[in-house]
Amino acid sequence: MEGDIAQMGQFIGAGLAAIGSGAAAIGVGHVAGNFLAGALRNPSAAAGQTATLFIGIAFAEALGIFAFLVALLLMFAV
């Protein structure tokens, strides 16, 4: 095995940061699932709310992207 402790820490940290992506996936699934549940109850109102759906998904996803950013910074910038 080559490398040192600092590099190992980088890789472990990047892997831990990737957990945040899974958390974002839960958030996005929650938004989309609740939208679908509401849309099936009242399909006529659903078409007007797709923009809101995408805004909600984008905001939920943003925090997962931050986790991805931390992983990238650990891998390539530190």
Partner 1 sequence: MADEAKSGGGLEFHPMDQFIVKPLFGEAGDAVHWYTVTNVTLWLALAILAVIGLLVLTTSKRAVVPSRGQSIAEMAYGFVYKMVEDVTGKDGLRYFPYIMTLFMFILCANFLGLIPMSFTTTSHIAVTAIMGFGVFFAVTILGFVKNGASFLSLFWVSSAPLPLRPILAVIEIISYFVRPVSHSIRLAGNMMAGHAVLKVFAGFAQVTAVAPVAILGVVAIYGLEVLVSAIQAYVFTILTCVYLKDALHPHH
Contacting positions for partner 1 (CB under 8 A) = 2, 7, 10, 48, 51, 54-55, 57-58, 61-62, 65-66, 68-69, 76
Closest distance between partner 1 and the C-beta of residue 34, in Å? 18
Pick between residue 26 and residue 55 the one whose CB is nearest to partner 1: 55
Beta carbons within 8 Å of 11's beta carbon, 6+ residues apart: 74, 75
CB of 16 to partner 1, least distance (A): 17
State how far the Cα of 27 lies from the Cα of 37, in Å rounded to an integer: 15
User: In the bound complex, what is the minimum distance in angstroms from residue 61's beta carbon to partner 1?
Assistant: 7
Neighbours of 31 (CB within 10 A): 20
Asked if residue 10 lies in contact with residue 74, where contact means CB atoms within 8 angstroms, the answer is yes
- Using the structure block, give the residue that is written with the tokens 């472990």: 12
